[in-house]
Amino acid sequence: MGHEKPLLFVNSPVIRKYVYTPIQEDTPIPEEESTSVFELEHARDVERRIEPPVLDDPVKEKLLVVPRIQQNLNYLDHPFRKELYQPIEVVTDEQVIKGKIHEVDHNLLWMKKDEELISVVIGDIRDIKWKQQSFTI
């Protein structure tokens, strides 16, 4: 029983052993490269503070989107919610549009009112109402 062949023999690649060879004293040791960061003397003169542009134009200020309005529109853009929350009213400075939300683009809201598509700039929207009350998530 001691000299029987194994039931499973797996041929494997030859295992080579690597022999350690120490570095001779005559061989120069390479110096490590420095990874320190040095600041140049004139680098501080180049630094300056960049401030965001201030909107002085009232037309540009009007185009800013209220985050709450954008959040509500993104919530209402889901297909099921478009059907659930209808008719919905969008209040702008000029008018009140009552209809169904069709699509929300980057800066436009498309609404369907009596089989007609109406576009509203999201920055112009002051309030979103559903069942005569302001819509909140």
> 124 with 107: CB under 8 angstroms?
no
The angle formed by the CA atoms of residues 73, 77 and 82, to the nearest 5 degrees, is 110
Task: Check residue 8 and give its pLDDT.
Answer: 75
Side chain identity at residue 7, one-letter code: L
Comparing 9 with 59, the larger pLDDT belongs to 9
Q: Which domains can be identified in the chain, with CATH numbers?
A: 58-134 (2.30.30.100)
4-31 per-residue burial string, b: 16 or more CB within 10 A, e: under 16: eeeeeeeeeeeeeeeeeeeeeeeeeeee
Query: For residue 43, with 0-12 CB atoms within 10 Å meaning exposed, 13-18 middle and 19 or more buried, which class applies?
Result: exposed
User: Which pTM was predicted?
Assistant: 0.52
Task: Check residue 91 and give its pLDDT.
Answer: 92
